[in-house]
Amino acid sequence: MKKIINEPDRFVDEMIEGILLAHPDLVKTPGTDPRVLVRADAPLAGRVGILTGGGSGHLPLFKGYVGMGLCSGVAIGNVFSSPSSQQIFEATKAISGGAGVLYLYGNYGGDVFNFDLAGDLAELEDIPTQTVVGRDDVASQPNERKTDRRGVAGIFFAYKAAGAAAERGDTLEEVAAIAEDVVEHTATMGVGLSPTIFPTTGAKSFDLPEGEMEIGIGIHGEPGIHRGPLETADAIADRLVTALIADLDLTAGDRVAVLVNGLGATPLEELYVLYRRVHQILTGLNISIAKKYVGEYATSLEMAGASISFLKVNDARLALLQAPAKSPFFEEV
């Protein structure tokens, strides 16, 4: 596959350099490591800092959600690779305003290991930390093992809610509790139509025969739960929405926020075709859509496909989603 890159080994750093040059009013590097980005006004004295992080290749996920009302900083790894514990620690120090730091990231082994190490280092510097991991991918584990699920696009809801809570001055314990509450009420499932191509090697993240789809595919190409002939948009939406409704135990009268997310190579027009069917299903069941998002929120380079996320909302969760926020890739006014 053709890619618009220079030296493959420089891909991540040149991408970060581009973000910094394009958005100097929103983000900055606080030190010499370009893999550590923080919001331009960090640290905010007396406010909880929110740190995320993970591998590159998922924009706007991770680095795209650093800004007012969202995350305070991010530690950035290579494509599909965790940032180092030292990078996470440096980011922790850079966003610490004296009220502690919440670690909010996806549930992947390397990230968990390195964030835990960084938390130990932060403790030595008297920086209190708490951790909440996104774990919304219902295809990765059954409901009874939901704490082991992968974190995918639904972590956006946690960024939004926790970021709003930190912005209004909540304590670390309160911000962490809000993030955990949102994670607990979020579910996501996706469909893959074609693989990612790694920029450093040219290798595919997985193999999928022409004319087939995979339901439940992970954002790194992790195996899904069903592979078969490509179905219509309505049939795909039916599969995904049925699983999400069951997982969240949604019934008539419930309210949800809906995120229809493109994985990198899916036209926006197709995402709206999916959203059309999601809307039909939910309204037909008397489940209200309180907030909706359609676009690319968590990608996998040029993977074709999409995911659908639901957050079951109440008045408190919805108010946090509606709070102002601004980052290089997202704005809520």
By residue count, the chain amounts to 333
Contacts of 66 (CB under 8 A, 6+ apart): 26, 27, 37, 38, 39, 52, 72, 73, 74, 327, 328
H-only helix segments in 108-262:
109-124, 155-167, 172-184, 233-248
Q: Rounded to the nearest 10 degrees, what angle do helices 268-284 and 233-248 cross at?
A: 50
The residue whose two tokens read 């809801």 is 157
3-state secondary structure at position 219:
coil
User: Which of the 8 DSSP states describes residue 10?
Assistant: G
List active site positions: 58, 220
- DSSP states along 266-280: S-HHHHHHHHHHHHH
CB 47 within 8 A of CB 167: yes
The rounded distance, in Å, linking the Cα atoms of 135 and 72 is 21
Kindly report the backbone phi and psi dihedral angles of residue 320, in degrees, each rounded to the nearest multiple of 5, phi listed first.
-70, -40
Secondary structure string (H, E, C) spanning 23-47: CCCCEECCCCCCCEEEECCCCCCCC
The rounded distance, in Å, linking the Cα atoms of 234 and 277 is 6
